[in-house]
Amino acid sequence: MQSWVFVEAAASVDPPLIAIEEIGRDEIEIQVDLEKWDALAIDHRNLLFWHEVGRIQNDAVPRDGWEMAALAIGLGGAIGELWVQDGLLLLMALGLSGFAGYRLYLKNNSEKRLADAIAADERAIDLACRFGYTLPNAFKSLGGALKDLAEQTRKKKKRSFYDDRLEALRKSAGKARAEMAQQQGSRQSVTSENVYG
């Protein structure tokens, strides 16, 4: 993964804390706002970074596709065909625009973005456990990082996005806690049944 994923300092005016972008066919860049990044606790940084790694592993990287070009071509063609007054080509241009617009809607749908983010959060928890975090600490660290991000953001829509992720994380933590309790209970019942050897 190191050969096709690059970590760079964000260069835009008001960058997000951490973002990913496809820069080539098989190359992905993780951009980090270093000022904000240094203000976070190390465990929060780790989990946020692993969230982005989870997005890459889940193939949820935003890609520049053909949709915007097709939408522009279709709209330009529709205007041109209105001028020429050719009905069939006008319908074809509008159809191309409609299809490209629908694809853009599917790609930028907020429900899909939330589902992708929740899946990446679960992947980040798995990665954290693989790198030595206990399951409760991984959940606490990611939850703390999401709370910090929600408090720092000024946009209501972005804040509600973080709140939805936090709610999903709480549900996931509850499930994990119940599974751990069930496993603990089954281990205790096995040891208590084997008292007589």
- Alpha-carbon distance of 150 to 162, in angstroms, equals 6
Q: Which amino acid appears at position 76 of this protein?
A: G
- Alpha-carbon distance of 139 to 177, in angstroms, equals 11
Mapped onto helix, strand or coil, the DSSP state of residue 4 is coil
Strand partners, 6: 29
More confident of the two residues 85 and 140? 140
Nearest Cα to Cα of residue 53 among 20, 10, 17, 8: 20
CB 66 within 8 A of CB 41: no
Given a cut of 70, whether residue 100 has pLDDT beyond it is: yes
- pLDDT tens for 143-165 read 999 999 999 888 999 999 999 99
Lowest mean pLDDT among 60-74, 94-108, 121-135: 60-74
Given a cut of 90, whether residue 79 has pLDDT beyond it is: no
More confident of the two residues 183 and 141? 141
Q: How many CA atoms lie within 13 A of 28 on its CB side?
A: 17
CB 128 within 8 A of CB 46: yes
More confident of the two residues 70 and 191? 70
- Strand order of the β-sheet with 18-22 is 5-9, 28-32, 18-22
Domain extent listing, the chain: 5-63+109-187, 67-107
- pLDDT tens for 8-52 read 888 777 788 888 888 777 788 888 998 889 999 999 999 999 999
Question: What is the DSSP track for 13-80?
Answer: SS--SEEEEE-SSS-EEEEE-HHHHHHS-HHHHHHHHHHHHHHHHTT------SHHHHHHHHHHHHHH
More confident of the two residues 168 and 83? 168
- Alpha-carbon distance of 134 to 37, in angstroms, equals 23
User: Which pLDDT value is given to residue 173?
Assistant: 92
Given a cut of 80, whether residue 95 has pLDDT beyond it is: yes
